[in-house]
Structures are given as structure tokens and as C-alpha cells.
Structure 1
Amino acid sequence: MAPISTARILVSNDDGINAPGIAVLEQVARALSDDVWIVAPETEQSGAGHSLTLTRPLRIRRLEDKRWAVQGTPTDCIMMAVNKIMADHPPTLILSGINRGGNLAEDVTYSGTVSVAMEGTLCGIPSVALSQCIRPGERAQWDTAEAFAPKVLGPLLETGWPKDVLINVNFPAIPTGSVQGIRVTEQGRREMMGNNIDERVDPRGFTYYWFGLGREVGLPGHTTDLKSVRTGYVSVTPLHLDLTHRDTLKTLERAFF
């Protein structure tokens, strides 16, 4: 695998163009390249997943040189950046985040942060998603992400990774000095104990609902992202876009032919 070029970096996220995490990531990116572009959602798009806007017009707003806001999803941002805003000179690396909150285990299927990296990978551009885990009621440890993002990205970019793989990075919710190190992990999976759905009544007497964070227990694994961040490590997880289950494929081939 060849090293990854940092000649032109695109930074995006799902927390929105004004989120504190994207400011941290921009600073990290500028230490890697003097050609950094920001194309991010106008407003927060957490939980948008890999959704694409198809039923309404997309509007973009140029805030300053190399900085754009998109009235759409994280996936919209990457499509607009690669195919319109930066079409003449596409990015050589996409960095997503830094998300406020972890994107671990099955979170990757809901995450707009990870979907930025998915869309970038589909476009053939090496992509990394970065997230700062937080604890309920506590502030995000942005200093931890800022300190360890370069330590993660350096070896990643020097080593490289396959074209159909994206990298998912999660920083633990602890101060910088308490971090135990960096671990390469597999994607974990939670034992879902039932979703926490908070039912409330508005001033007019109508019922409405909020999705909350349910209790979670990680299912057994070797070295998972869940276990690693809980024990104070930065997790680095390679994710494969090909969702085909090879063993079942072989079984079904025998059943049908």
C-alpha cells in the first residue's frame, strides 16, 4: 500500500459548519497541508447516516475562500465538493469530524460523520472519520482529540490503506494525559437493551417523543472499538464498504445451483 497524499485536504462533518469539532480538525489538517477546504452542512445533521437529498433543491453558500456551507446532508456535502465546488482539482484526502460524541460499533450505520468517509471512499478518495467520545453531562475533551489526531493520522497516511476501506477513529472521553495509547481495533457490537424513547406532552396537549441513549453492554470480541475507548485507548478501525458475507454466499450458491 502506498502512502496517502495530503496535497489537497477536504474537511467535512455532520455537526455543522460552526461546530467546535470541525475547527479542531481544520487546525489538524492545516498542519498536514496548506491547501485545506471546508465543505460542511449548514446545520447539524447528526444521525443523517448516508442519506442523500433528492426531494428538494440543494443550496450552497460560500463563506470565504475554500469554505462552503451546504443546506443538506453530510453525503450531499461530499458530492457537491467533489463534483462541483472542487471538480477541477478534487481532494486527495477527506477528513470527517471531529464529531461531538463517539461513533462506535453499530453507530457507524447511523453516523453522518462516518458517512462522509464512506462517500469519500466511494469517490475513490482516501477518507478518515474522527470522533471525540463524551460522557453524559461532561464537556467534550477536545484537547484529547487535538493532541492525538496527528499521532493517528501520521502512521495512517504513511502506511496507506486499500481503496475500498475507510478508517474510523474514536478518541476516549478522558483528559489527554490519561490516554493509554492507540489501538487498532475491530468494530464492536452492543447488546441492545431496548431503545430509550422519552415520551412527553407539549403545551397544547399533544404527545411527542425524543430518542435517548439506552443502556449498552458490548458483546464479546477480541479488541473492539467499544472496549478500547472504555479502557482509555484511541481506537482505529478499518471499515470495509463491501457488506457481502462470504460464508453465506458460498452456502447459498450451493443451495441454488
Structure 2
Amino acid sequence: MPAIIESSVVAEIPGPLSKAAAKQLDSVWDSRAVYFVADYDKSEGNYIVDVDGNKFLDVYSQIASIPVGYNNPALIEAAKSPEMISALVNRPAVGNFPSSQWHDILKNGLLRIHPEGLDKIFTAQSGSEANELAFKAAMMLHRRKERGEGVDWTHEETSSCIENSKPGSPDLAVLSFANSFHGRGFGSLSTTRSKAVHKLDIPSFDWPKATFPALKYPLEKHVEENAAEEKRSLDEVEKLITSWRFPVVALIVEPIQSEGGDNHASPPSSRVSVT
């Protein structure tokens, strides 16, 4: 039975050791966003410990990047396995040289929870990168349908795309919603609509934005109002898709907006948006 850690504050936050460590770190790395410097060796379960000995209940799991707790015993045990050691020390270009275990890793791992009808997977290292790849896939599919199956690229297409010009680099759009956050890559940042600090001074694509429904609570007391609010949002989505300056080839939506203010859309509304 592991020892139970309780929250405790033994020094100011950030404490003197944390301030000194952050200052030292700033000589080689931008530390302006640092709240405190953590001691991950002493952190356990849902509790994070800083270098001054303060213990905090972490209800966010970092930014959901440590979902099963600090120093999870099962993960520590798995990290000692030959399979984990091989995965850590051998970083392949997996698209060209997948391991003999790759099929089973995907089939018995992420694909155990795949949505119905989506039985293949493309791995990525972050949510932003996954969104970028999804945007590209939607755009390539759109152009393939326009061009026709089995039709080769023209010389004009292959030469113009190198110059970032049409027809090789066509005007296509992805629709997102107000207050959404989808990442900080160039494409995903163009669909992010939450905070100016993410987007300021960065060029963006000319892509449309729809209003996310603002539901009233408790839900059972505002059924008709919320249905009308979601219909207004969906009508706006349809109008933007059919009237935007160039083709809207994809729509990206968070069923629950987190960074944008904990905004929820009903399951039926979300399903209509993505069909």
C-alpha cells in the first residue's frame, strides 16, 4: 500500500529554491511561464511536489499529460520491460520501417477504442499535429474528388505548388467555432479562436468561424431555448459552408470547449455538425 500524500505548504509559492532554479533555467530556456519548479522524484499519485517541499493536489494532471498520476507503479514496472526499453532507445521512421510488433501495438492499443467505421490509425505526437494531418487529409481528398480517381497531377500543379500558388496550392478552408482551441501549428492556429496571446503577430489562413452555442443551465429547464440556440449555430454553419469565398473542406469542433470557457454542446448538435 503506497503512502498517502496530503497537500501541504511549507514555503512561499514559488519558494526560494524554485525561484533560484527558475532563474538558472532562464539562462538557457525561456522560463517566463514557470509557476514553480517541480520535484518529480518526490511527486506521487495526484500530488505534485515542488523543489521547496510544497505538495499540491494536481486536479489538471498537468495539461492532461499525466492522466494516471505521478510515478505510477504500473508504468514504472512497464518501463523496466524489454519492450519499453526497445521502444525508448530505438526511434524509427515508423512510416518506412515499422517494427514487427507495430500491428499488434496499434490493434491492441489505440484501436481498441476506435469509433465505428474508423478502423485505421495515423499516429502523431500531439493534438496540434493530429489536427494538421486531418486538415491535409481533408484537402487532399477534396482535390482527389475534383481531379478524379487515378488522374495524375499536371505539370502546372506540381510546379505552382512550389511557388505557393494556384492551382497546386488551392484556396481551401477549414471551419471552426468561436472560443475554440485546436493547437498552435499554422493550420491548427488558424482554427484556434480562444485567446489573442496564441495568435498575435502570426499570419493565418482566411478561414471561417461559426458561433458555438451558448447553452443555459440547468438543461432540463431550458430545453426549448437551448434547442433554438443550437439550431441558430447549425444554421450559421450551413450558411458559412455554402457561401464562403472558397470551398470549406472540413469542420473541426470540440463537443466540450475547455480553454474557451467550459462550453458544452449537446450530443445531437455535435453529431449534426460532423455529418
Bigger strand fraction: 1
User: What's the TM-score once normalised by structure 1's chain length?
Assistant: 0.24
Bigger helix fraction: 2
The structure with the larger Rg is 2
